[in-house]
Chains A and B, each alone.
Chain A
């Protein structure tokens, strides 16, 4: 089965989603990420969704759950790069991405994480 690659930069895991994910792939990513947080002792996760054309309720839930699991494993998740049209649609859909922190791009997401690590 295809997998979404997870890169490690120091204590941060970086995932760039570049395909239109089917549901199983999204769930596999959630599991892979939680395993990698533990194995790599990561304290931050950045999920770059700038290439995603839509975020529907399922993907939204996967993002929320991933962030919640990461938090329990002492890692902070930041979703970066959401397209404006996707944000507008999410709000109308009624999805508020509970507990998910966001930043405009990977660089700003990294800056958020390093501020958290310093404090």
Chain B
């Protein structure tokens, strides 16, 4: 069973500076739940990739950060959502090296490798939401 121990904090993602702020807030939560330094680095890096995707591909959106409590486990739940063009071919978008935005094409696939859970929902013309979870290891 998953229950939230904290009201999700929504952060706007419309500028480069917003991406920096989201990174800092994710770091703070990662420290708070006691993630190791490597896991902190991984989740902040994943958040940075996804926040930039939201900004570059959809023109902006928001990030929702939440600390999860599941029995004796704590985790960090991050959702990045936009009302952008959506993704027509998810398989292609997840492929390393494929890019529609002039980047390296490592954002989605790379972010997925850095976290424990990854879920992408998208609808063409409506928008995209990517949810990631990083659990604290005991």
Contacts and interface: CB of A to CB of B under 8 A. Distances in A.
Interface of A: 20-25, 53-58, 60-61, 83-86, 88-89, 92-95
B135 to A, nearest CB: 16
**Interface SS majority for chain B:** helix
B103 interface: yes
B41 A57 contact: no
B82 to A, nearest CB: 17
Given A53-B44, A57-B103, A85-B37, A93 B17 contact: no
A94 B109 contact: yes
A22 B114 CA distance: 21
Interface bin, chain B? 20 to 34
List of 8 A-B pairs having minimum Cβ-Cβ separation, nearest first: A22-B16, A85-B41, A93-B110, A56-B48, A57-B106, A85-B38, A54-B45, A89-B41
B136 interface: no
B104 A95 contact: yes
A25 B113 CA distance: 27
A92 B107 CA distance: 12
A26 B135 CA distance: 31
A21 B44 CA distance: 14
Contacts of A55: 45
A86 B19 contact: no
Contact of B42 (A23, A83, A89): A89
Given A58-B48, A95-B106, 16 more contacts: A20-B23, A20-B24, A23-B52, A25-B16, A53-B27, A55-B45, A57-B103, A57-B104, A57-B106, A57-B107, A58-B52, A85-B40, A86-B41, A88-B41, A89-B41, A94-B113
Interface of B: 16-17, 19-20, 23-24, 27, 37-38, 40-42, 44-45, 48-49, 52, 96, 103-104, 106-107, 109-110, 113-114
B45 A94 contact: no
Contacts of A24: 16
Contacts of B52: 23, 56, 58
B16 A57 contact: no
Nearest to B38: A85
Contacts of B114: 89, 92-93
